[in-house]
Structure formats: C-alpha cells, structure tokens
Structure 1
Amino acid sequence: MQQKQNYIYLGTILGISLIITGSIFGYALYKSRVSDTLSVTGSAKQKITSDTAKWTATFNRTVPQDSLKSGYSMMKADELVIMDFFKTNGVLEENINFLPIYLEDQSRYNPQAPKEYYLSRTVQVNLNDVKKITDLANNFQPIVDKGVTFSTQSLEYFYSKLPELRVALLSDAVKDAKTRASKIAEGTGKSLGVIKSASVGVVQVMPLNSVDVSDYGAYDTSSIEKEVMVTVKTAFRLR
C-alpha cells in the first residue's frame, strides 16, 4: 500500500514537471517569435490645392413685435438683393441655398428688453471656382450699400478627390514603412522578412507646414493650399 502511494506521488511530481517544462518552452518560443517581429509606422504626404469652396453668410432684421409681417417682407427684399448680387457675378441659382428664417423674441429671457423680433437667415454658396468665391466673399459691399445687414460666417475650402488620393498614398506609406524597417533591421544585424500585418491610420488634411495632427484625424478647411498625410502601422518578420 505504501509502495503504491509512492508511485502515485512520483507520477504527480513527474506530471507537474512536464507541465512546467512545457510552459517554459512555450513562453521561450513565444518570446523568440515576438523578438523576431519589428513594428514600424510609415507615412506619405502630398500637397494639394482646394478645388471646391463653400461660403456661408447671414443677413438679419430687427422689427417691433407688432410688425412681424413687415419684417418678413424686408427679409424677402434682402434675399432678392443678395440673389441679384450673385447672379450679376455669374453664380448660378443652383449653387445658392437659402436656409429657413430664424426668429427670436428679444424679450424672451429679459422682460426689460424691447418688444422686438430678431429675424436672421443663412445663405450658402458652393462653387468649384475657388478664386471666384474667395473674391466674392471679400467684396460684398454692393449688398451692404443697398441696406442689407450682411456678414460672412465662414469660408471653407475642400478637395473633392481626397478618397482617390488617400488610396494612392497608402501604397507610398507602406513603402516608407518598409524602408524604415530595413534600416532598423540592418542595425540589429538581421534582415527584413515578409510583412506580418498592416493597419491604416487616420487621414490628416493640414495647412502647409503645419504639425498640428490629431489622433482622430484632421481636416483643415481654412486654407486653399493644404497637405494630406496618411499613416500605416506595420509589423515585419525579422530573419
């Protein structure tokens, strides 16, 4: 009976030893594989010129609360003045969008304020002619000269071929990652093997010479001349 217990005890110890040995060997193999992997980020940039633009402006009127009908009539007259300005400068009606009129009671939050209504309306103009829309945004004095309270909210510039450019830059970013990885591998005395994995980073559309990037991507709309950057995170086998 005692001898049988000894055999059981010996078998248990042997089993545990084999498990420990296997674990150590497996960990060593894992570390070996991990150490033979090199992670590198590659990037590619290209300068672009915006080919579309959106100009957003507003105009408004303030009228006594008992003259709301008159206020809407004045807003309509202002709309016609603005439309005439755009048509005179060669902007097609299909490129002009007037949003609904916004109405605010000036005395809503302050009973002491005058009993007046504030009416405002936003107009947006989209053009593929960046120079023309920029010139118009800088020279809308004829609208103001006709008594319209008109002001610019924003002037935004875009690049319509960004999706195609992004695809083209991805290839260059992978090449850049491979070049960097090869230089690093040389320094370790190893050579670069096949690519193990690759993941695409966010797209950065920035003003020229800018270093203001974002983890979530960026799209600058304030400048005509921009720079597009694409990054790729890669992992290569080392030999």
Structure 2
Amino acid sequence: MAVLGLGLTTASGVLVKGIRNANDTITVTGASTERITSDYVDWSVEVTQSGPTQQASYQGLQPAVEKTVAFLKAQGIQPHELELDSVKSEKEIVRDPRTGELRSTVWTTKQAILIGSWDVDRIYKISGRIGQLIGQGVPLTINEPAYTYTKLAEKRVDMLAKATRDARNRARAIAGQAGSSIGAITNADTGTFQITVPNSTETADFGSYNTSTIDKDITAVMAVTFRVD
C-alpha cells in the first residue's frame, strides 16, 4: 500500500525478497488503474417549514413540497424516479434561563424528496438549477448527488486480473536482471480498492469510494509472490 501513497496513476513500486537459489521467491506489488463513468445517481432535497404550532408548520410545508415536485417534473424527472419521504416534525421550546418561563414554542416540519435515476447527466444538470427555488422563497436543503457505478463487482474481477498481470511483468523484469525466470504463483494478497476523483492521489487504509463526481478512477492492487526458477 506504500505504492498508493506515491500516487498510482500509473502502477509502480516493487517489493523484492532476495533471489539466491531455485527455491527463492519474489513478491511484487502490481496495480491497475482505470477511468470509469457512474451509471446511477441518488439525490435528495429537503423542504423545511417552521410555525408556532405543528399544524401551522405542516400546512406551510405542503405548498413548498408541491412546488418543488412540480419543478422537478418540469425539468424531466419521471414519476418512477421520484419518491416522497415520510414527514418529520420536531418541537423546540425556548424558556427564560433565569425564571424558566416559557418564551416561545416553534414547530419545524420537514419532508425529503428522494430521486434515483439511471440518467446521470440529466440529474447533474437539474441539481445545478434547483437553487432557483430558494430565490422563489422555497425553504430547501439541497444535498449533493451521489454518483455510483453499479457494475463494480464485474469490474473488480477484471481489475484484479490486470493487476496480477502487471505484477508478473514486473517480477519477470526483476528476475531477469538476476539471470532467473519466474515460475508459479505461490501467494496472492488483494489490497483495497480505491475509487477516487480523477487523477487523485488520496488513499484510505480500508479503501475509498468517491460519490461526488460522475467520472472516477478505480485502482486495484495485488501483492503477488512468484517462485523463482
């Protein structure tokens, strides 16, 4: 994993155990990095309204929710891509810190609008426009879209195979300098997968999964031990 700390835009870095005789082994870190494009997006916005009573806050919330849903549909969100979350209501009581006398009661009611879509580019564009509603007086909390790649399981298999080939090529080059050749694999350890923003050098011990960008870089690392013949 020290290799990743140096930035694996192109795989590099080798760990070698001495080549002395035919029973020796060589351990090499191979890596593979590819650019992938997200194919699904989850996004949500939350409408919030406050009032002196629970009923008042709820009644104020509904027109704002309806206006937000109408905006999203007008922008191209399909009915099956949109879902209303349950309504949540909270009460805040403000008292005089000296006398404990009740000063005010405020009810806050919230409802999230959840969007899930395979049309990643369309949601990206809409998320940049929905701020218009705030200017029209709609009390919104706008969350960042979460972009994901749904074929990751298949991609991992392919990436590990490429990382293993990369390790074999490195091992051959190193062994060749000692006049030896590479034999069978005796051990293979899979490192963590790093899915990051494009061209990032950031890593995490337990792997990472960036959801903030549509395009991402995925890096797979394999520590492979070969017999030296």
Aligned AA (1:72) = Y
C-alpha separation between the residues in 1 aligned to 2:202 and 2:132?
Answer: 38
> Is there any run of 5+ residues in structure 1 with no aligned partner, and where?
1-31
Identity across matched positions, percent? 26
- Tell me if the contact between 2:45 and 2:142 (Cα under 8 Å) persists in the aligned partners: yes
Helix, strand or coil for the counterpart of 2:28?
strand
Q: 2:95 aligns with which of 102, 111, 124?
A: 111
Q: With the length of structure 1 as denominator, give the TM-score of the two structures.
A: 0.78
Counting matched residue pairs gives: 204
Write the deviation string for residues 110-159 of structure 1: whole angstroms up to 9, x where unpaired: 52463111222222211111221111111114533553201212222111
- Tell me if the contact between 1:203 and 1:217 (Cα under 8 Å) persists in the aligned partners: yes
- Tell me if the contact between 2:82 and 2:115 (Cα under 8 Å) persists in the aligned partners: yes
What is the aligned partner in structure 2 of residue 50 from structure 1?
38
Aligned AA (1:134) = Y
Change (3 A) 1:73 1:189: same
Bigger helix fraction: 1
Shift of 1:33: 8.5
Alignment pair present for 1:81 and 2:55: no
Write the deviation string for residues 24-66 of structure 1: whole angstroms up to 9, x where unpaired: xxxxxxxx889701111111111112222222221101111xx
Helix, strand or coil for the counterpart of 1:40?
strand
Change (3 A) 1:141 1:228: closer
Shift of 1:101: 2.2
What is the aligned partner in structure 2 of residue 128 from structure 1?
118
Helix, strand or coil for the counterpart of 1:154?
coil
Shift of 1:193: 1.2
C-alpha separation between the residues in 2 aligned to 1:34 and 1:156?
Answer: 52
Q: With the length of structure 2 as denominator, give the TM-score of the two structures.
A: 0.81
C-alpha separation between the residues in 1 aligned to 2:161 and 2:134?
Answer: 51
C-alpha separation between the residues in 1 aligned to 2:113 and 2:56?
Answer: 21
Pair member with larger Rg = 1
Change (3 A) 1:69 1:186: same
Alignment pair present for 1:95 and 2:81: yes
Alignment pair present for 1:148 and 2:156: no
What is the aligned partner in structure 2 of residue 23 from structure 1?
none
What is the aligned partner in structure 1 of residue 202 from structure 2?
212
Helix, strand or coil for the counterpart of 1:134?
helix
Q: CA RMSD in A?
A: 2.1
More divergent stretch after superposition (169-178 vs 79-88)? 79-88
C-alpha separation between the residues in 2 aligned to 1:161 and 1:128?
Answer: 13
Helix, strand or coil for the counterpart of 2:191?
strand
Aligned AA (1:90) = G
Aligned AA (1:42) = G
Shift of 1:85: 1.2
Matches within 5 A, 1:183-202: 183-202=173-192
Write the deviation string for residues 131-189 of structure 1: whole angstroms up to 9, x where unpaired: 21111111114533553201212222111222111111111111001011111212333
Shift of 1:190: 2.1
Q: Which runs of 4+ in 1 moved over 4 A?
A: 32-35
